[in-house]
Amino acid sequence: MFRRTKIVATVGPASAQPETLRQLIAAGVNVFRLNFSHGSAADHQQVAAHIREAARAEQRIVALLGDLQGPKIRIARFSAGSIQLSPGARFCLDTALDKDAGDITQVGVDYPQLADDCDVGDTLLLNDGLIALQIREIRGSRIDCEVITGGVLSNNKGINRKGGGLTAAALTVKDLADITLAADMDLDYLALSLPRNAEDVTRARQRYREAGGEGGIIAKIERAEAVADEATLDAIILASDGVMVARGDLAVEIGDAELVGVQKQIIQRARALDRFVITATQMMESMISSPQPTRAEVSDVANAVLDGTDAVMLSGETAVGDYPVVTVAAMHRIILGAERSWQQRGFASQRQPETLSAIDESIAMAAMYVANHLSGVKAIITMTETGATPKLMSRIRSGMPIFAFTPHPRTQRRVSIYRGVETMAFDSESVPNSRINGEAVSQLLALGLVEAGDRILITKGDYDRAHGGTNTLKIVTAGEDVR
């Protein structure tokens, strides 16, 4: 069965070896994530080279995604390494305290503006929300708190303000260096951590282009401000090429009870606004140490698929887990199970006809309508330069495989994250106009992807008049004299 939803896997110590990378690709990984929060530039460059070599060996197209660390606000360090906080105890966060002087009563913070961003009564969440502190008094650099939810607190744990509102800039000095690294590595996508608004995304794109980067920008939705209202969320989505539902920090800031509804909203809005969406964080967390997922994890992955996410992402499961290849195979199996109940024909789009403003958009919509209503259609071929037309097609619910034929390796890699899209190397300029359609269909026939008698939809530009612009839709039958 054709798998539509894509798999993103994070590379780490458990998966960076060339043979493991080959096994991950064979198991179904479409995109590899390089986490710039860990490792050196040389480490990332070496891993990228290994991934590209593994993809060539497996004769598969995979994309590379670099993930910026962003302004992660952290406490400093304890002289004893960790402490035990008890509910009701007093504890101080001090931005002026020596970085190694933390003890049972206080700890330093690496964010000088924390006191300015907070008010008495605010709740600060540490260690991914496991520890909760309520602010009782603010005195200069010192934030005196009462422990609401206690536990073990160790060095360098993150801090979030419940409800958001911390003003740290989205791009740090380290991020700017990593943007240059991503450009030098020719990564296909760059993920921006903790953007507050569309301006943060635009600024990151500008910096990336100035550095020579040509990849797409992914906005990670993980701040409460980003989902505070639909206008802000829509603006962030429109400023990006795709978004990631980064459920870790997002859940801490908005609360677990709100997360599921917000996740569904982000997926729905991304699809409606013609952007791709990745669902991430703790999708198969138990498989870091277990060869089998929990039933809750199976449901979590399946529900993201049913909601229409383009991709699901593995983090620690493949970066540091004991079963990286087994985990990818399990995710592949779960996705197929979910898609069997979802891929029913029927035109489902968030768009209204009056909103169409471009010819390629109209052709993409028309092709998907025909695919979902004309009997005998088994595949869609779209000739593309940039990947724009297959992306538009992938926004519309269908069980039909979309084959993006392109001569450009960069376009092949970029479309590999779009839901339902597979890519084929095809240089239409080397084929006479009268034979382009026939050659493309023959390629699918030779690979066993269609059979004689199947109907196939073909979209492309009218090369006599508008090279590079999709403005033609044709219906052909495999095995006949296709022109």
Strands 470-477 and 455-461: antiparallel
Strands 6-10 and 31-35: parallel
Query: How high is the mean pLDDT of the chain?
Result: 93
What count of Cα atoms within 13 Å lies in the side-chain half-sphere of residue 45? 9
Strands 131-139 and 123-126: antiparallel
Catalytic position from the list 220, 395, 413, 414 = 220
pLDDT of residue 351: 52
Catalytic position from the list 5, 95, 279, 281 = 281
pTM, two decimal places: 0.92
Tens of pLDDT along 217-230?
Answer: 999 999 999 999 99
Catalytic position from the list 3, 74, 345, 455 = 74
Helices (H) and strands (E) in the chain, counts: 15, 21
Q: How many residues does the chain have?
A: 483
What CA–CA distance (Å, rounded) separates 37 from 35?
Answer: 5
Q: Which amino acid is at 362?
A: S
Q: How confident is the model at residue 467 (pLDDT cuts 50, 70, 90)?
A: very low
Catalytic position from the list 4, 6, 33, 275 = 33
Q: Which amino acid is at 394?
A: S
Residue-wise DSSP of 16-36? -SHHHHHHHHHHT--EEEEET
Asked if 33 is an active-site residue, the reply is yes
* Contact residues for 352 (Cβ-Cβ < 8 A; gap 6+): none
Tens of pLDDT along 318-335?
Answer: 999 999 999 999 999 999
Question: In the structure encoding, which two tokens stand for residue 123, read together?
Answer: 């709740």
To which residue do tokens 């003003």 refer?
167
Tens of pLDDT along 62-114?
Answer: 999 999 999 989 999 999 999 999 999 999 999 999 999 999 999 999 999 99
Question: In the structure encoding, which two tokens stand for residue 319, read together?
Answer: 């970066």
Question: Is residue 198 a contact partner of residue 236, using CB atoms and an 8 Å limit?
Answer: yes
Q: How confident is the model at residue 147 (pLDDT cuts 50, 70, 90)?
A: very high
Residue-wise DSSP of 230-298? HHHHHHHHHHSSEEEEEHHHHHHHH-HHHHHHHHHHHHHHHHHTT-EEEEESSSSGGGGT-SS--HHHH
What CA–CA distance (Å, rounded) separates 471 from 483?
Answer: 17
CA angle 374, 378, 381 (to 5 degrees): 100
Question: Does the pLDDT of residue 463 top 70, yes or no?
Answer: no
Question: Is residue 266 a contact partner of residue 227, using CB atoms and an 8 Å limit?
Answer: yes
What CA–CA distance (Å, rounded) separates 19 from 393?
Answer: 35
Helix 230-239 and helix 256-272, axial crossing angle in degrees, nearest 10: 50
pLDDT of residue 1: 67
Phi, psi of 408 (to 5 degrees): -100, 120
Asked if 74 is an active-site residue, the reply is yes
pLDDT of residue 11: 98
Question: Is residue 18 a contact partner of residue 26, using CB atoms and an 8 Å limit?
Answer: no
Helix 295-307 and helix 256-272, axial crossing angle in degrees, nearest 10: 30
Q: Give me the mean pLDDT over the 287-304 stretch.
A: 97
Question: Is residue 274 a contact partner of residue 2, using CB atoms and an 8 Å limit?
Answer: no
Question: Is residue 219 a contact partner of residue 236, using CB atoms and an 8 Å limit?
Answer: yes
pLDDT of residue 266: 98
Element (H, E) at 213: none
pLDDT of residue 7: 98
Largest CA distance in the chain: 81
Question: Does the pLDDT of residue 345 top 80, yes or no?
Answer: no
Asked if 281 is an active-site residue, the reply is yes
When mean pLDDT is compared across 272-276, 348-352, 374-378, 418-422, the lowest value belongs to 348-352
